[in-house]
Every structure is written in structure tokens, then in C-alpha cells.
Amino acid sequence: MSRFLFNRLLGMIVVLFLVCLFTFVVFFVLSPDPAVQICGKNCTPEAIDQIRENLGLDQPFWTQFWTFITALFTGRTYGTGANAVECAAPCLGYSFQTSQPVADMILQRLPVSATIAIGAAVLWLLAGVAGGLISAVREGRFADRFIAGLTLTGMSVPNYVLALALQFLLVVTLGWLPFPQAVPFGDDPVRWFANFLMPWTVLAIGSAAVYTRLTRANVIESLQENYVRTARAKGLRPGLVWRRHALRPALTPIVTIFGMDFANLLGGALITETVFGLNGIGKLAADSITKNDQPVIMGVTLLAAFLVVVGAMVVDLLYTAIDPRVRVGSVK
């Protein structure tokens, strides 16, 4: 078991390292010279050189990369003397455009992204599993086909179109909801809910559709399993047959997929946040791309990858906890 853990951990580190490297290379090659950007309008060649030296941009590629990696663990100081800038560990980079460490910027935006992610996740899990269950129980009947139609629609509508349509309908025309703003929960729970409802819905619809289909397929499949037949042959109550023998096996893959999806989402729901103007990590990424704030883009990319990789590992661990076949060794 611990060997398995160790291997996964190792794999995780390798993947993260490669993501770092890959991203670094791409930005290194593609980005316009950051020194020029930072220098600003009234630039002199000496000033540029000075900046480049401060930032370590005159170093060879591998040195820069190595500095970046070590900075993740130990922090880093840009420049010397009076203009030196501290970037505490973990240093994901420093945004010179906004004079903040990237990590701080991300942390500021985290609550909003987390709120969006968690709310949407709860919504889509509930809707997905419930919808899937109903479809499976009423397989082939009207409810099943109706829900199937809904899921196909939900999967197909692009979120920005839906976001605009919802806003047009609910905010502009009917006035039922306000324009979404990031209202902290503490201030006014009702307003908080009303504000996040649309972003949650837009984000949840696609996943709810997928999860409904997944749950339905899994439940139908598990109902065909021989052990359900055994359970029935033992004369067990239908409730017990459902809970233990049909549902429990069916939900396992869903839990694991959910782990991955949620991890993905925490990295920022870029489009949804942008459309609704909510200052989450996704919007930070979008804005930074527009402004070409390279360190921020790097930092956000790394964070998102990190979350996904960690999510994958958590999911694997969860799987060993849930599925006895994986947890314990097989036949002696």
C-alpha cells in the first residue's frame, strides 16, 4: 500500500515538474521581453539591462528555470538593495504590472472561485444523481426520455450563451435576480445566494447532464449484475436490494470522476467568471492574458495543474478506500 502511494507521489511530482518545464519553455519562447514591459514608456537601454539583471533574465534558460523551481520552496528576492522585492515561499512568481506576488493575487481570488466551484458542484451532484436514478428506475418510460432530452440539451448549450440568455431573461426582462456580484456570505446570505445562483446554474448544467447520464448508465448496468439476481433470490426487501446491491456499486465511479471534476473547477471557471464579471481565479487568468502579465499566467497555470494532479491522486486513494478489490490483495 505504501509502495503504491510512493509510486503515485513520484508520478505526481514528475508530472508537475514536466508541466512547469513545459509552461516555462512555452512562455520563455513566446513572451515578449518582460523587461521592456516593466520598464514602461520612458525606457533607456541601461534601464532595461538593469531590470533584466534584477529579474535574472540575463541568465541561461536552465538557470532561470532552476531559480523558478527553487523559489517555489524557498521564496525569492528580485533585484538588490532598495528596490529589492520579496516574494515569500511558495513563490509562484511576481507580477510587476500589479506589484504583487502572484500567490497573493490567487489567494485573494480564491474565495470567489471556491464559492462558485462548491456551489456548482453540490448542484450538479444532486441533480445528476437524482436525475440518473429516476431515469434508471423509469427506464424507457416518459420520465427517462424527458430527462434524456434535458441532458442532451444541457450538454450542448455553451455556457456563455446560457449565461447571456439567463441574464437577459432573469435580470433584464423579469428582474427576478440581480446582476451577479461577489457578495460575501457573511454580509447578506440571501443576496449572496441570489448573486451566485446564476453562475452556479450555468456552471452546473453541463456537468449535471453528464452525471445524469453516467448515473443512469451505471445503475442500469449494476441492475443487470448477477449479484442483484442473487440478492433477489435471497428474498431481500427491494429497498435493501437497491441500496446495497444496485446503488452502492453504481456510485463508485461517480465519486471518482467527481474528484477530478471538482479539482478541475477549483482552478477557475474561466468563462463563467468572465461573463458574469466575478473576480475569481479564472477571471484573473483571463485578465492577465489580455494584459500579458506573464508571471500571473504561469502561476495560475501551475496552480490549476497542481490541483488536477492532486485531485487525481486523491481520487486514486479514494478508490482504494471504496473498492475492496483494490484495497486488499486478491485470491491466495
Tell me which residues in 214-233 interact with another protein (CB under 8 A): 214, 217-218, 221, 225-227, 229-233
331 binds another protein (CB under 8 A): yes
- Residue closer to another protein by CB (options 47, 318) is 318
Residue partners of 200: CB distance under 8 A and separation at least 6: 116, 119, 120, 123
Q: How far is the CB of 18 from another protein (least distance, A)?
A: 6
Q: How far is the CB of 30 from another protein (least distance, A)?
A: 4
Pair type for strands 85-87 and 94-95: unpaired
Among 278, 282, 295, 316, binds another protein (CB under 8 A): 282
275 binds another protein (CB under 8 A): yes
Name the one range near another protein by CB under 8 A: 67-75, 129-137, 164-172, 180-188: 164-172
Find the binding residues for another protein in span 122-161 (CB under 8 A).
Answer: 152-153, 155-161
Number of residues lying near another protein (CB under 8 A): 89
Q: How far is the CB of 293 from another protein (least distance, A)?
A: 11
* The three grid cell numbers given for residue 30, joined into one nine-digit string: 513566446
105 binds another protein (CB under 8 A): no
Among 256, 280, 295, 316, binds another protein (CB under 8 A): 256
In order, the DSSP letters of 141-157 are: SHHHHHHHHHHHHHHHS
Find the binding residues for another protein in span 15-44 (CB under 8 A).
Answer: 15, 18-19, 22-23, 26-27, 30-32
Residue partners of 264: CB distance under 8 A and separation at least 6: 304, 307, 308, 311
CA distance 13 to 21: 12
Helices (H), the chain: 2-30, 34-39, 45-55, 61-74, 102-137, 142-156, 159-166, 189-224, 226-233, 238-240, 248-266, 270-276, 281-291, 294-322, 324-327
* The three grid cell numbers given for residue 35, joined into one nine-digit string: 523587461
Name the one range near another protein by CB under 8 A: 45-53, 65-73, 184-192, 240-248: 240-248
Find the binding residues for another protein in span 174-213 (CB under 8 A).
Answer: 203, 206-207, 210, 213
User: Do 62 and 79 contact (CB within 8 A), yes or no?
Assistant: no
**CA nearest neighbour of 55 among 31, 27, 33:** 33
Q: How far is the CB of 19 from another protein (least distance, A)?
A: 6
- Residue closer to another protein by CB (options 95, 274) is 274
Name the one range near another protein by CB under 8 A: 44-52, 74-82, 94-102, 242-250: 242-250
- Residue closer to another protein by CB (options 37, 50) is 37
Residue type, 256: T
